[in-house]
Amino acid sequence: MSTLELGRIIVVGASMGGLRAAEQLRSAGWKGELVVIGEEPHKPYNRPPLTKEILARPGTLEESLQSTALRQRASVSDAQWRLSERVIVSDLRARTVTVDSGEHLEYDGLVIATGIRPRRLQAPGPTKGRYVVRTLEESRALHEELSSEKRVLVVGAGFIGCEVASTARQLGCVVQLVEGSRGPMHRVLGHEVSEAMRNWLAGQGIEMVNGSYVEEFLTGSSPDDHASHARAAGVRLADEQELAADIVVEAVGSVPNTEWLENNGLDLTDGVVVDSRMRVEGAPRVVAVGDVARFPDPWSGGELRRIEHWQTAIDTAKTAAKSLVASLGGTEEPAPFSAMPSFWSDQFGVRIQGVGAPHRATSIEVLEGSLEDPASGVAISYQREGETIAVVNVGLPAGRLVQYRDMLTKITSPA
Ligand SMILES: Cc1cc2nc3c(=O)[nH]c(=O)nc-3n(C[C@H](O)[C@H](O)[C@H](O)COP(=O)(O)OP(=O)(O)OC[C@H]3O[C@@H](n4cnc5c(N)ncnc54)[C@H](O)[C@@H]3O)c2cc1C
């Protein structure tokens, strides 16, 4: 029998990317052992609702888990799920990983699917009363705090920050959103659309704060505030503005989970660098998927980038699984990765959807609707060097994006 039947593939990271990679390994012909190791105690669940429905809704952790659990194909029912276990070290030359109990596990192939964690603000001050949202537990813990009239300060106005702000406001909280030196969702949507969204968010009752770095977390003066119980009661920004709050949510970007891959000679600058087939450079029989993978994105002129979008975890898993099975004796080498990036976000019941690489555009054109009133439905195309490289829709039915997506594919589909 061949390695395809007798070997072992280890998937590190038991979330969207890890699950989809395991399923795609089976589809690509892998019949051997599949071991999925994940540090969270749960089987894979969906993260997008954590800042939306799950954050808004009362209910137990168990109920939230049930409603977010990702459906699994029968083909991975025989996979060995090692949950609540963390890989702490790897030796890619010896083909082993070591989990936190000290156990070494050998593999024939390895999938890196360890994703990212929220970046934390390094400013001094109390750590209590400060929240991030990446896991189900974190979303539930924040929900418990979000009651009417509570003052919620969200630091960071990317998609996560804007979604938390929107949900908190809808629950009746008094919300301030610190947007940094550029506007909300600026990194993805660009200046003009970010400006339009800023005005719209403000119109929904969110106080936009044009501040920059947090210098210090302020301590409240309630009777509970002896050292061990002190809670953050706001922040002082670099420009000396002081903002009071009952809770602070940090939404200031992410850090790839790659520490366990150190000392293997890999390029771990902002994720794991892979080639166009998701193979880790410098490590045979190792692939990476999802938020942690930094790959040459043909929609961005081949620029190496990580894409923290749900659909990218699915798309990269397909290519990575085929590559890995091919390197272990399978026959089907995948085509270079070329999936069009796509994303969505929901804020105040309005859907924002996009395809392509809007961050590279040099100009935009409004295709329908008006940026003055984005929630009533607006479609924006993004141009660079005479080509349409992205489309973003706000408040329009999903089908409309499909129509624009086709237009985009014809113009910029990579070779
Ligand atoms: C709150 C939230 C809302 C989102 N909303 C949207 C949205 O609206 N639209 C959209 O397109 N995308 C959204 N996303 C992004 C989308 O959820 C991610 O792109 C997707 O989860 C990436 O999956 P992943 O498996 O690569 O990484 P992750 O989901 O981060 O999973 C990585 C897993 O690996 C585990 N792990 C890490 N290190 C180790 C280790 N050493 N050993 C073992 N296990 C380890 C982690 O605990 C985690 O379970 C959202 C993300 C979040 C957090």
CATH code of the domain covering residue 363? 3.30.390.30
Looking at the chain, the whole-number percentage of residues with pLDDT higher than 70 is 96
Q: What is the pLDDT of residues 6-52, one digit of tens each?
A: 799 999 999 999 999 999 999 999 999 999 999 999 999 999 999 99
CA of 49 to the centre of ligand 1 (A): 12
Q: Supply the residue whose CA is at minimum distance from atom 9 of ligand 1.
A: 344
Q: Supply the residue whose CA is at minimum distance from atom 25 of ligand 1.
A: 17
- Ligand 1 contact, 293 CB (< 6 A): no
Asked if the structure places residue 337 within a domain, the reply is no
Same domain for 220 and 205: yes
Residue 2, pLDDT > 80, answer no
Q: What 8-state DSSP symbol labels residue 280?
A: B
Domain end position, chosen among 250, 279, 300:
250
Phi, psi of 372 (to 5 degrees): -65, -30
Residue 413, pLDDT > 50, answer no
Same domain for 226 and 187: yes
Q: What is the pLDDT of residues 265-280, one digit of tens each?
A: 999 999 999 999 999 9
Asked if the structure places residue 104 within a domain, the reply is yes
Same domain for 113 and 261: yes
Same domain for 390 and 369: yes
Higher pLDDT, 229 or 395: 395
Same domain for 261 and 229: no
- Ligand 1 contact, 39 CB (< 6 A): yes
pLDDT (0 to 100) of residue 163: 98
Task: Count how many residues are written for the chain.
Answer: 415
What value does the mean pLDDT of the chain take? 93
Distances (CA, A) of 387 to 180, 193, 338, 356: 31, 19, 17, 12
For the chain, the distance separating the N- and C-terminal CA atoms, rounded to the nearest angstrom, is 38
Helix (H) or strand (E) holding 163: helix 159-170
Same domain for 238 and 383: no
Asked if the structure places residue 314 within a domain, the reply is yes
Q: How far is 373 from 378, CA to CA, in rounded Å?
A: 8
Question: Number of helices (H) and strands (E), helices first, in the chain?
Answer: 10, 26
Averaged pLDDT, 332-337: 92
Higher pLDDT, 330 or 308: 308
- Check which CATH number belongs to the domain holding 170 and give it: 3.50.50.60
Same domain for 243 and 144: yes
CA of 328 to the centre of ligand 1 (A): 27
Report the amino acid identity of residue 404. Answer: Y
Asked if the structure places residue 342 within a domain, the reply is no
Q: What is the pLDDT of residues 227-252, one digit of tens each?
A: 557 888 899 998 888 999 999 999 99
pLDDT band of 409, cuts 50, 70, 90: low
Residue 225, pLDDT > 60, answer no
Same domain for 263 and 240: no
Higher pLDDT, 88 or 215: 88
Domain end position, chosen among 221, 250, 279:
250
pLDDT (0 to 100) of residue 3: 76
pLDDT (0 to 100) of residue 211: 79
Domain ranges, residue 378: 349-412
pLDDT (0 to 100) of residue 415: 45
Q: How far is 118 from 137, CA to CA, in rounded Å?
A: 14
Same domain for 94 and 76: yes
- Ligand 1 contact, 16 CB (< 6 A): yes
Q: Which residues in 183-338 belong to E strands, given as ranges?
A: 207-209, 214-219, 232-237, 242-244, 247-250, 254-256, 272-273, 286-288, 293-297, 303-305
Residue 411, pLDDT > 50, answer no
Same domain for 174 and 155: yes
Domain count of the fold of the chain: 3
pLDDT (0 to 100) of residue 328: 95
Asked if the structure places residue 339 within a domain, the reply is no
C-beta of residue 340 within 8 angstroms of C-beta of residue 409? yes
Same domain for 285 and 200: no
What pairs with residue 234 in β-bridges? 244
pLDDT (0 to 100) of residue 117: 98
Same domain for 200 and 151: yes
